[in-house]
Amino acid sequence: MKKSVVILDLGTVYLTESQQAWLARMGEAVIYDRTSSEEMLDRLHGVEIALTTKCPFDAALLDQLPDLKYIGVLGTGYDMIDVAAAREGGITVASVPTYCTAATAQHVFALLLAMTNHVGSLSTGVRQGRWCEADDFSYWDKPLEELEGMSLGIVGFGRIGRKVAKLGDAFGMEVIVRSRSGEEFREGYVARPLNELLGMSDVVTLHCPLTSETHQLMNEERLALMKKGSRLINAGRGKLVDEAALAEALRSGHLRSAAVDVLSSEPPSPDNPLLNASNCIVTPHVAWATTASIGRLLDAVLDNLESYLKGEPKNEVLDFEKEEG
Per-residue pLDDT tens digits for 90-145: 999 999 988 999 999 999 999 999 999 999 999 999 999 999 999 999 999 999 99
Residue 321 has pLDDT above 50, yes or no: no
What is the per-residue pLDDT for 320? 44
Residue from 187, 220, 221, 266 carrying the catalytic annotation: 266
> What range defines the domain where residue 179 resides?
101-282
Sign of CA dihedral 102, 95, 85, 46: positive
Do 58 and 176 share a structural domain? Answer: no
26-32 mean pLDDT: 78
Is 130 an annotated catalytic residue? no
What is the per-residue pLDDT for 181? 56
Pairing between β-strand 189-192 and β-strand 185-186 as defined by DSSP bridges: antiparallel
Residue 258 has pLDDT above 50, yes or no: yes
Do 131 and 11 share a structural domain? Answer: no
Do 78 and 64 share a structural domain? Answer: yes
Per the CB < 8 A criterion, the answer to whether 206 and 236 are in contact is yes
What is the DSSP code string of 221-248? HHHHHSPTTEEEEE-S-GGGB-HHHHHH
**Nearest CA to 218 among 294, 289, 274?**
274
pLDDT digits (tens, 9 = 90+) for 261-282: 999 999 999 999 999 998 999 9
pTM exceeds 0.85 for this model? yes
* C-alpha span between 234 and 140 (Å, rounded): 27
Distant-in-sequence, close-in-space partners of 291: CB < 8 Å, separation ≥ 6: none
Do 113 and 19 share a structural domain? Answer: no
**Nearest CA to 305 among 1, 6, 3, 2?**
6
Do 296 and 225 share a structural domain? Answer: no
* Residue 23, domain CATH: 3.40.50.720
27-31 mean pLDDT: 78
Do 203 and 89 share a structural domain? Answer: no
In the chain, how many domains are there? 2
What is the per-residue pLDDT for 184? 55
What is the per-residue pLDDT for 307? 94
Number of Cβ within a 10 Å radius of residue 132: 7
Instruction: Say how many residues make up the chain.
Output: 325
User: In the predicted model, what is the mean pLDDT of the chain?
Assistant: 91
Per the CB < 8 A criterion, the answer to whether 260 and 274 are in contact is yes
Residue 183 has pLDDT above 80, yes or no: no
Do 261 and 205 share a structural domain? Answer: yes
Residue 226 has pLDDT above 70, yes or no: yes
* C-alpha span between 111 and 103 (Å, rounded): 12
Is 316 an annotated catalytic residue? no
Residue from 285, 306, 316, 324 carrying the catalytic annotation: 285
Do 49 and 164 share a structural domain? Answer: no
What is the per-residue pLDDT for 27? 63
Alpha helices in 156-290 (DSSP H): 159-170, 194-200, 220-225, 243-252
Percent of the chain beyond pLDDT 90?
78
Residue 322 has pLDDT above 70, yes or no: no
Percent of the chain beyond pLDDT 70?
93
228-255 mean pLDDT: 97
14-37 mean pLDDT: 78
Do 238 and 154 share a structural domain? Answer: yes
Do 124 and 10 share a structural domain? Answer: no
Residue from 192, 237, 256, 296 carrying the catalytic annotation: 237
Residue 5 has pLDDT above 80, yes or no: yes
What is the per-residue pLDDT for 68? 96
The helix/strand count (H/E) of the chain reads as 11, 13
Do 241 and 253 share a structural domain? Answer: yes
> How would residue 29 be classed by pLDDT, with cut points 50, 70 and 90?
confident
Is 237 an annotated catalytic residue? yes
Do 57 and 46 share a structural domain? Answer: yes
